Structure 1
Amino acid sequence: MLKLQNVDHYQFKDSDVQKTIDTEVLVVGAGNAGMMAAAAAAEKGTKVTVVEKEDSINLLRLGIGGVGTNAQKRAGLTINKYDLVEYLAAFAQHNVDEGLIYHWANHSAEAVNWVEDNILKPHGAHLRSEPDAMVTSSAYEGFPTENDPTTDDKTFASYGKWFQEKVEDMGVKLQFKTALVKLLTTEDQVTGAIVKDLKNDEFIQINASKGVILCTGGYSANKDLLKQWNPVALKKNVYNDSPRNNGAGITSALNVGAIKDEEPAECIFDRGLVPVGTKTGDMYVQTATYKDWLWLASHPLLKLNMRGERFANESIPYQFIVNAASKQPGYLYSMIWDDNFSEYAKQFHMLGCARVGFPGYMASAQKLREDTQQYVDKGLVVKADSIEELAEKLHLPVKTVKQSVKRNNELVVDNIDKDFGKEAFRLTPINKKPYYGCILGGRILCTFDGLRVNKKMEVVNDQFDPIQHLYAAGNDSGGFFFGSYPDRVPGLAASHAQTFGRLAGQQAAEN
């Protein structure tokens, strides 16, 4: 078992405590899970304190998954819960606690509806159901789970500020720039935590009479923990888009007897642009601003390994292409396309954030072209008037790349992918100059292998007995994901965090 005082290596002695605060529920982390936990506990009249080591909340994802939400009912949309849960369990090869997935499916609508009724509607916004998760065959199954906050059904409405105002109006105390140092225990239960006020450089003891809820968001920003728990992630990924997720919640619980998932789980985007010549082992950029993020990279255009060979079906979930590349030389891969790419994007029918038009993040094909052009200007996407020139600029074998492009164009004419089985409507030619290319790697958004919990969101020990007054939600909680993220269930990560955060808050308040 990992034994660390804390992941930030604060030198702390009991005599260093300079202040004591009493609360009933302490929530550590102010993201989707933590904010929902705080609201749920406060709704029951409980005194709640939230500590967050950064200077703001972190409501990152706008689209929220759910089953049987009010937005879905308004749209006349019905999701078969049993098919969905079995899909998620099978996607994980049943390396999950299937009961937890059912628990999410049974309670997800409650959390989604609460956000709409209490956060969005008072500000003139609502949720719009994404109804068209297109299924062309059993190999490409998807579920229309996403609910998108909007005021006009054409654009996203960001609701983080509204959420913060709501919980503060409910009496929740939000304390920023405050980091978790360690959990406090008496006999067989957690009684609170030691935290550090980073602004004033002082240690504080927070006594929590009803419980501590860990919502710190996984460990993707902690290279030491990645080396121990998920070393391949450091080879697959060249960016980490969650630099605040340092693993403090998980390690603090392990230090008081908790257990965590034994195998890694993660969410990886296939949008990491890197300079030609990059070695993946030399690059792990921590960014909160989506530095060098190519939206087009999630589209099923021709992708080649570093030897210029096609290596996978480009229509697979976005994390899968990064997984497939990890079995190729150098872990990175290239993408090649022609000047008609904005027209091809209209026919691909991507899901979630990758799609063009609402609820995607690229409002139109023209916006997608403009987004791509900025990386041409920056030199991360290269242009050429011939495939030979393009291959040379990408430092790829010219002969092999020419053969791969020729084969791609033959498959387009035949209207069938005889090599990797990509859907015919996603086969696109490379025959209109100028030609484009880039080198890509993974961007880890978060880790999902968290602390084992029961349906009360209580963290359990190695006997699977609950550690009294200790709860976890969001990416600090485990048992729900394994390996890769199922992106054909759009909004699942945010919904998992908010649903389980709400359940944890309610349970803690009832102690």
Structure 2
Amino acid sequence: LYTWHIYQGRGAGWINALQKKGKDKYGMQVLLNTPAEKLIFGKDGKVAGVVAKDKDGNTLNIHAKAVIIATGGFADNPEMMKKYTRFPNTDGIAQTGKNGVGIQMAWSAGGGKEGLEVQQSYRPGPRAVSTTNHVSATAKQPHLWLTPNGERFCDETIMGDWPAAGNALERIGGQMWVVYDNKNLDSMKHDGIVQGVGVMVPIGAKLTNFEKEWPAAEQAGWAVKANTLDELAKKTGMDPAVLKASVEQYNKAAEQRHDALFAKDPQYIFPVKQGPFYAIKSVASSLGTLGGIKVNDRLQVVTDKDKAIPNLYAAGSDVGGMYGDSYDLLMAGSTIGFAVNSGRIAAESAVKDHNLGKK
């Protein structure tokens, strides 16, 4: 478990520790609410600092011997997402402010491009809804997944394999309905869920907040309840004949303990028979982008021809080359592991190159 990011204090634990050490030992100053906007170049054409703007709109010219770019990617930049990623309309989870400015700063210095197409596909769910929401949690179970027209399209147990789930949903346009019946709901509320939603709503958690959170979900339009399948089709826009045929096939698979369409593990085929029926609208989701800037093994920003750009380094999700075409869930925690260690290596390289680190 501790290879993942669930250690004491989580992210804030080590960030606070590093900031304290930086301040106490090196006199480091942290400027909050002061995003950098562009690089400063010296008379020799080399990177010499950044131009930033504080919360009051004041422009700050911050001169430095070295600049390390670590701004978290570009998932909050619609133009870059549309230009560089294969599925730009994902629901970005916790991506506010990650607008790609750091990546563009590196490119302005001649930095090469790498890994721009890579996203961290995350488990599908309702758009812009908290991970801890219990109504949303019901959609992140291996229930019946249907296209907007009502057709089944995959083995729903891939919910636990985020890239596979994301790819399957992208293929049908990025939106689906997750359907279950009242018996399924009772089991989730009283016995617990079979698929964990990270550590926030773990396996076995009883969805005791469902009834309290349902009205807001229904009013927002991503959660639908109906007494019959015909009514459910009308409320969701699914074709009633297609929906009923999909449910019939699914129930038959549950009864025979064999899924002829997708070979789903029979222990996770929960029949849809007992009304009222529920449908949760889910969309393709992403934990962010994972590329943009080309670097070398010292985390120096390099050109497309691998020539190091003096005084400029990059780390974390701004850096390309760590992944192939998608996030690798088989190595849980790899993104934060790379962020921490690439930041460390970039800082060590800057210290060595410029004799930094003395108070």
2:35 aligned counterpart, secondary structure: strand
Q: Identify the residue that residue 348 of structure 1 maps to in structure 2.
A: 194
Query: Does the aligned pair in 2 maintain the 1:415–1:424 contact within 8 Å?
Result: yes
Structure 1 residues 249 and 239: CA distance shift in structure 2, 3 A: closer
Q: Identify the residue that residue 175 of structure 1 maps to in structure 2.
A: 31
The equivalent position to 1:443 in structure 2, one of 285, 290, 294, is: 285
Alignment root-mean-square deviation, CA: 3.0
Structure 1 residues 487 and 296: CA distance shift in structure 2, 3 A: farther
The equivalent position to 1:229 in structure 2, one of 69, 73, 84, is: 84
How many angstroms does 1:217 deviate by? Answer: 0.8
Query: Does the aligned pair in 2 maintain the 1:334–1:439 contact within 8 Å?
Result: yes
How many angstroms does 1:327 deviate by? Answer: 2.7
Structure 1 residues 289 and 308: CA distance shift in structure 2, 3 A: closer
The equivalent position to 1:474 in structure 2, one of 311, 316, 327, is: 316
Query: Does the aligned pair in 2 maintain the 1:320–1:484 contact within 8 Å?
Result: no
How many angstroms does 1:272 deviate by? Answer: 4.2
The equivalent position to 2:108 in structure 1, one of 248, 251, 255, is: 255
Query: Does the aligned pair in 2 maintain the 1:300–1:314 contact within 8 Å?
Result: yes
Corresponding pairs, count: 341
Q: Identify the residue that residue 338 of structure 1 maps to in structure 2.
A: 181
1:321-336 aligned within 5 A: 321-328=165-172, 330-336=173-179
Q: Identify the residue that residue 208 of structure 1 maps to in structure 2.
A: 64
How many angstroms does 1:174 deviate by? Answer: 0.8
CA distance, structure 2, for counterparts of residue 483 and residue 417 of structure 1? 30
1:489 aligned counterpart, secondary structure: coil
Structure 1 residues 413 and 290: CA distance shift in structure 2, 3 A: closer
CA distance, structure 2, for counterparts of residue 301 and residue 463 of structure 1? 49
Structure 1 residues 356 and 501: CA distance shift in structure 2, 3 A: same
Structure 1 residues 228 and 165: CA distance shift in structure 2, 3 A: same
Letter in 2 for 1:256: A
CA distance, structure 1, for counterparts of residue 348 and residue 197 of structure 2? 33
Structure 1 residues 500 and 443: CA distance shift in structure 2, 3 A: same
Query: Does the aligned pair in 1 maintain the 2:147–2:177 contact within 8 Å?
Result: yes
Runs of at least 5 residues in structure 2 that lack an aligned partner in the other structure: 354-359
**1:502 and 2:338 are equivalent in the alignment:** no
CA distance, structure 1, for counterparts of residue 22 and residue 351 of structure 2? 14
How many angstroms does 1:321 deviate by? Answer: 3.1
Query: Does the aligned pair in 2 maintain the 1:146–1:352 contact within 8 Å?
Result: no
1:63-82 aligned within 5 A: none
Q: Identify the residue that residue 193 of structure 1 maps to in structure 2.
A: 50
How many angstroms does 1:507 deviate by? Answer: 2.2
CA distance, structure 1, for counterparts of residue 55 and residue 321 of structure 2? 33
Q: Identify the residue that residue 242 of structure 1 maps to in structure 2.
A: 95
Q: Identify the residue that residue 14 of structure 1 maps to in structure 2.
A: none
Runs of at least 5 residues in structure 1 that lack an aligned partner in the other structure: 1-128, 131-144, 151-156, 275-286, 358-362
Q: Identify the residue that residue 219 of structure 1 maps to in structure 2.
A: 74
Q: Deviations over 1:55-87 (max 9, x none)?
A: xxxxxxxxxxxxxxxxxxxxxxxxxxxxxxxxx
1:417-496 aligned within 5 A: 417-496=259-338
1:291-302 aligned within 5 A: 294-302=136-144
CA distance, structure 1, for counterparts of residue 292 and residue 35 of structure 2? 19
Structure 1 residues 166 and 254: CA distance shift in structure 2, 3 A: closer
Query: Does the aligned pair in 1 maintain the 2:146–2:178 contact within 8 Å?
Result: yes
How many angstroms does 1:248 deviate by? Answer: 0.7
Q: Identify the residue that residue 18 of structure 1 maps to in structure 2.
A: none
How many angstroms does 1:447 deviate by? Answer: 0.8
CA distance, structure 2, for counterparts of residue 176 and residue 288 of structure 1? 27
CA distance, structure 1, for counterparts of residue 140 and residue 41 of structure 2? 46
Structure 1 residues 440 and 417: CA distance shift in structure 2, 3 A: same
2:171 aligned counterpart, secondary structure: coil
1:407 aligned counterpart, secondary structure: helix
How many angstroms does 1:165 deviate by? Answer: 5.8
CA distance, structure 2, for counterparts of residue 160 and residue 147 of structure 1? 11
**1:146 and 2:4 are equivalent in the alignment:** yes
Query: Does the aligned pair in 2 maintain the 1:307–1:400 contact within 8 Å?
Result: yes
Letter in 1 for 2:67: V
CA distance, structure 1, for counterparts of residue 117 and residue 101 of structure 2? 17
> What percentage of residue pairs aligned between the two structures are identical?
25
Q: Identify the residue that residue 356 of structure 2 maps to in structure 1.
A: none
TM-score by length of 2: 0.83
Query: Does the aligned pair in 2 maintain the 1:239–1:272 contact within 8 Å?
Result: no
How many angstroms does 1:245 deviate by? Answer: 0.2
Q: Deviations over 1:196-230 (max 9, x none)?
A: 2232x222222222x21111011111111122212
Structure 1 residues 370 and 221: CA distance shift in structure 2, 3 A: same
How many angstroms does 1:496 deviate by? Answer: 2.0
Letter in 1 for 2:187: E
Q: Deviations over 1:345-385 (max 9, x none)?
A: 8573547447625xxxxx82234745863524655311122
CA distance, structure 1, for counterparts of residue 5 and residue 75 of structure 2? 26
Shifted more, 166-175 versus 457-466: the winner is 166-175
How many angstroms does 1:448 deviate by? Answer: 0.8
1:268 aligned counterpart, secondary structure: strand
Q: Deviations over 1:397-452 (max 9, x none)?
A: 11111111111111122223221132233222222332110222123331112211
Structure 1 residues 435 and 497: CA distance shift in structure 2, 3 A: same
How many angstroms does 1:335 deviate by? Answer: 0.9
Letter in 2 for 1:174: V
Letter in 2 for 1:254: W
